[in-house]
Amino acid sequence: MIERTPPPRGTPSTAVIVQRPESFWDALDSAQRTALREAARPRSYAAKVPLCYQGDESDHIIIIESGWAKVASVGEDGRVVVLAVRGPGDLVCESAVLGSRHRSATVTALSPLRALVVPAARFTAFLDAHPEAWRLVSGTFVQRLDDADRRLQAHVSAKGAQRLALLLAGLAELSARHVPPSPDGSIEIAPPLSQEELGSWMDASRETVARALNTLRRHGLVRTGWRRTVVTDLPGLRAYAAGRRSG
């Protein structure tokens, strides 16, 4: 587990890469997991199939058991913006249920995905019966607000290649939570994101992402293929994102 540490003096806070805490499901105890399974129905989703739609009324939450999904929203101008990636153990489609409002984003499977679907009433009943789980849900909200703040700050203060390095370092840490790094220390990023999706997430064009990847490859920080990115030097990638490595 990577601890939260203060940035070196003069380093923007946006460059600090922090290991994400354990997932919502992993944080539950065995009794809580059993109760949620009893309240849920299992469902499988093919790649590219939405789990929930932006603008829909809320009637259920979803816990991902396996696979990856992206969270994206459509602005008034019709532009689709990737906001986040969710993986095994993550809670999705939950904010609208708990806030009694329409869904603010569409969640779409990036790969074949298996999940637990819990009707809204059953989920709130679960939380009432297990008050300590409310803390986990609240922690999920806080973490996602922090992620959004870091994204906004990075957009203001970091250059294209640095923003991509920051994003890939976070994705590598997330991936390593589910699949151990290779013997040489390299980490394959699990969510199968395209360059266009990476660009949408970091608010840059596909061309900017391609140039940034080329820069990171030249520095020996990543290897790439079709919808495949391997981080070969995570400490070096963090240093690059923090501006402590020339480029």
pTM: 0.81
Specify whether 198 is located in the same domain as 103.
no
Q: What pLDDT is recorded for position 142? A: 79
Q: Give yes or no: residues 138 and 162 share one domain.
A: no
The three-class DSSP label of residue 164 is helix
Mean pLDDT confidence for 114-132: 94
The CATH code of the domain that includes 95 is: 2.60.120.10
Based on the domain organization, do 41 and 132 belong to the same domain? Answer: yes
Residue 93 shares a structural domain with residue 124:
yes
If asked whether residues 28 and 118 sit together in one domain, one would say yes
- Tell whether 138 and 28 lie within a shared domain: yes
Q: What is the pLDDT of residues 98-110, one digit of tens each?
A: 776 788 899 999 9
DSSP-assigned beta bridge partners for residue 194:
none
Mean pLDDT score of the chain:
85
The answer to whether residues 126 and 41 belong to one domain is yes
Above 70 in pLDDT, residue 5?
Answer: no
Supply the pLDDT for residue 156. Answer: 58
By residue range, what is the domain housing residue 216? 158-241
- Answer whether residue 6 is part of any domain: no
Rounded mean pLDDT of 110-139? 92
Tell me, yes or no, whether 169 and 201 share the same domain. Answer: yes
d(Cα 58, Cα 98) in Å, to the nearest integer? 9
Q: Which tens digit of pLDDT belongs to each residue from 145-196?
A: 777 766 666 665 567 899 999 999 999 999 998 888 999 999 999 999 999 9
Which residues have CB under 8 Å from 45's CB, separation 6+?
A: 51, 67, 109, 112, 113, 114, 115
Task: Write the CB contacts of 183 (distance below 8 Å, at least 6 apart in sequence).
Answer: none
pLDDT digits (tens, 9 = 90+) for 73-84: 988 888 888 999
- Total number of domains constituting the chain: 2
